[in-house]
Each structure stands twice: as structure tokens, then as C-alpha cells.
A and B are shown apart, each in its own frame.
Chain A
């Protein structure tokens, strides 16, 4: 075969770096044959609440032209205080009661996976495990992708099954079962020379012990009861991501919107906007904001005046609330093979931003996370 022209080579290179393709660059066999990522994350909450340190490492190894093996390991170190229940306070204000600051847990998780590419199709199978003092999880996922229309369109479908066990410090060996099934479908579409859209749908069905063994509810006429949630949960979510390049500012703008609903009565909405720009010296910076809002679960109450029904919870995550936060990041390509990425996010929760139901001011707090990732590609 004769030498190809520089123009054809350029076109081929462009065609190889396309949406779909680019979107799963770290996954598709043959594009980044070897890869190693290492991340450290620091998460903390205001008011001396939870603090989490995460170390994560993953590797991707090719097997021939069409197969790829992946391995991923995570360690979480968690400490700090967490809300247990609410009590009535002076002037009609509801107060939180927190655990002591001595709560500590060490979670270890990992997964292995294999991907196969055949023509425009890609199939990925993953198996994962997670273990901490009072929670264990075993999960399996299968995902398929296919490119259409000269890679203008990518379809993805997936299924995951998770078999979890939940216990508590008081009865560490009494694991109660929680099963979750996830069904996912998505399409990524090139709109024009500088715009992409991605639409995703997901349905999850969980059953078993879905309550939180550490949460309680306060009943004014009768003391404390353990958190008790319905034994079945069905969640449906839709997410749309739109990404466009704006030549006037030599940057891209990204919008991500999500809506979800479930049979517990929680409806949620989220909107994230980001600006991304390349700078000389192989720097890439991004900045943005995220807004989130949800209504409370049907059975949620900050506290109960009389004994509640079978389902009852005062968990702050099932309350009506909203949050607004900022996002920032910077990536530096150090060499053709190595890059470093720093990312940060800070979120301010406010009951006044809820989309429905009830919540309390005492649940307002701030969380922040910072992470640094080193990437190697060979």
C-alpha cells in the first residue's frame, strides 16, 4: 500500500476522535492501549459533620486488538458526626440530634471488567464488590454500545444488579438484604459541526431492607422509633446533556439537566452549567454551577406528633430541600503520556430551595470536595 496523503491522514485522525468515540476514549479498546489513573479526594461537611478521604486507582490493559481488561480499587476513610433524628426546640424550632464525632468506617471496594469491540459494537461486563463495617455490596453490570451513521450516533444500553447487605454497629453480624436492579438506555448524537446532545433514561427497582439502621424518628406522644421505609422503591430518571463550542469565546458551554421521580413521592430536578476553555501550554480550565431541588418523601416528617404509620423517616435526605453550588477544575497535560487534574465542588443546601413538601432549617449545611487525579496513557 502506498503512503497516504497528509490531508487523508488528518481526516482519518479527526474521524478517530469523534463524539461517541471521544466520549469513551478511556474505554474503547485500541485507542488508549494502556492506562493508569490515581485519585485522592477530600470531602467534608460544615458543622464538624462527616469527613471522607478517598483513594482510588484504576488500570486498563489491552488484550490483543479487540479486548480490554480493567481493574479499579477504592478505599474510603469516613469519620465525623451524622444526624440521627430531630427534636422540638424553643420557639417552635426543630433541632437535629447528631451522632458523636467518633463515627469511623473504612470502606474497601473494587471491580474488574472486560470489554470487547467488534466493528461498531462494544460490550462491557463488570463485577464489583464493596465492604465496610456495616455494609457490603456485590454487583454485576453489562453494557453495550453501538455506533451508527458514520459515528454520528451512539446508542448505549445497560443493566446492573446489586445485592447488598446492611447491618449496624449494634448488631454487626445481622446483615439484612437490599437488592437493586438498574436499566439504562442512552443516545449520543452529533447535531452539527460544533454541538452534541446526549439523552439518557434510567429505571431502578430496589426491594428489601431500604431503611437506614442508624436513623430514628421522634414521636412527641411516644418517644423514638427506628427509621422505617417502604420495602420497594421504583425510580425513573431522565438526563439530557448538551455541549456546544462557541467560537466567539473560543470555549465550550455544557448544560446538563436531570429529572427524577419515584414511588416514595420524591421528585427531583438538577441543572448544571459549565464553561470549558483550553489555554496555551496544554491547560484546560472549567468552571460552573449546579442547582438541585427535590420534594420530600410522602412518609417524611421532621418529627411526628402522634405515632406514624408503617413508613416513617426523618432522614434529611428524604426532606424537601434544594442546593446551589459551584464547580471548578483545571487539567494540565504534563507530557504526551501524563496529565494531572484538580477538581473542586462546593454545595450549599437550603430548605427554602425545595420544590415541594416539608423540610427544616436545621438540615441546612455545606459540603465541599477536592480531588486530584494523575493519569498515565501509553
Chain B
């Protein structure tokens, strides 16, 4: 990934965030769809932890996935 591409993506993310500042608040009675199981934004904890550990052990890059979890001598 080139540095230019990274900067473009970061700029897009910041712009999206700023745009979100203009979002109207969705009222509680409008959140029925958001409460569906298919709309859970986080995956099951064990599955997520195991997959992230696999990626971390087999890839040289990183992702912003939250803190916690020690290292391992995975090869």
C-alpha cells in the first residue's frame, strides 16, 4: 500500500467522521432494525480473538482491533 493511498484513505475516513457529525440522532423507537442479531457490529469474542491471533501470527501488518492479549511464540 503506497503512502499516498494511505493518506487518501485516512482523509476519507476523517471526512466521513466529520460528515457523521451531521447525522440526525436515530430515536430509540427507530432502532428495531439495528437491534437485529445480524446487525451486531462485534463478532463473538472467542472467534474474533482466535482469528486475530491467526492473522497476527501469519501476517506482518496490523489492524486496529483493540487492546489486550499477550504475545506468543507462534511460527
Interface string of B1-12 (1 = CB under 8 A from A): 111011001100
Q: Which of B40, B64, B67, B69 contacts A25 (CB 8 A)?
A: B40
With contact pairs A82-B75, A260-B63 given, residues A238 and B9 touching in the complex (Cβ less than 8 Å): yes
**B interface residues, how many (CB within 8 angstroms):** 58
Closest chain-A Cβ to B58's Cβ sits at a distance in Å of: 6
- Please pick, from B3, B20, B58, B65, the residue contacting A202 in the complex, using a CB distance under 8 A: B65
- Considering the chains assembled together, what is the distance between the CA atoms of A135 and B73 in angstroms? 6
Segment from A61-69, A85-93, A193-201, A216-224 that makes contact with B: A193-201
Bound CA span A149–B25, Å: 7
Count A-side interface residues using an 8 Å CB cutoff: 124
Give every chain B residue within 8 A of A317 (Cβ-Cβ).
57-60
- Number of A-B residue pairs with CB-CB distance less than 8 Å in the complex they form: 267
- Segment at the B interface, from A115-123, A276-284, A301-309: A276-284
Q: How far is the CA of A262 from the CA of B63 in the complex (A)?
A: 12
Contact flag A164-B66 (CB < 8 Å), given A41-B50, A196-B39, A267-B6: no
Note all chain B residues with C-beta closer than 8 A to A238: 9-10, 13, 64
Known: A200-B65, A318-B60. A241 touches B38 (CB 8 A): no
Shortest distance between the CB of A307 and any CB in chain B (Å) = 24
Interface residues in A200-248 (C-beta closer than 8 Å to B): 200-202, 204, 212, 214, 235-241, 243, 245
A63 → B minimal CB distance (Å): 20
Contact at B68–A143, with CB atoms within 8 Å? yes
From B19, which residue of chain A is reached at the shortest CB distance?
Answer: A191
* Distance of A151 Cα from B25 Cα, bound (Å): 9
Tell me the smallest distance from the CB of B32 to a CB of chain A, in Å.
5
Is residue A158 within 8 Å, beta carbon to beta carbon, of the partner chain? Answer: yes
A75 within 8 A of B: no
B41–A105 touching, CB < 8 Å? no
A343 vs chain B, min Cβ distance (A): 5
- A sample of 25 cross-chain residue pairs with beta-carbon separation below 8 angstroms, ordered by A number, consists of A14-B31, A17-B34, A19-B41, A22-B35, A78-B74, A103-B75, A107-B72, A132-B73, A139-B68, A152-B23, A164-B70, A166-B73, A186-B64, A186-B66, A193-B26, A197-B16, A198-B41, A238-B10, A239-B63, A240-B13, A243-B39, A245-B39, A269-B1, A318-B60, A347-B58
Residues of chain A touching chain B, judged by Cβ–Cβ distance below 8 Å, are 11-12, 14-15, 17-19, 22-26, 37, 39, 41, 43, 50, 54, 56, 58, 76, 78, 82, 103, 105, 107, 109, 111, 126, 128-130, 132, 134-135, 137-139, 141-143, 149-150, 152, 156, 158-160, 162, 164, 166, 178, 180, 182-184, 186-194, 196-202, 204, 212, 214, 235-241, 243, 245, 251-252, 257-262, 264, 266-270, 276-278, 284, 292-295, 297, 317-319, 323, 329, 331, 341, 343, 345, 347, 355-356, 367, 369, 371, 373, 375
Contacts A22-B40, A193-B31 supplied; 4 other A-B pairs, CB < 8 Å: A14-B35, A22-B35, A257-B9, A367-B58
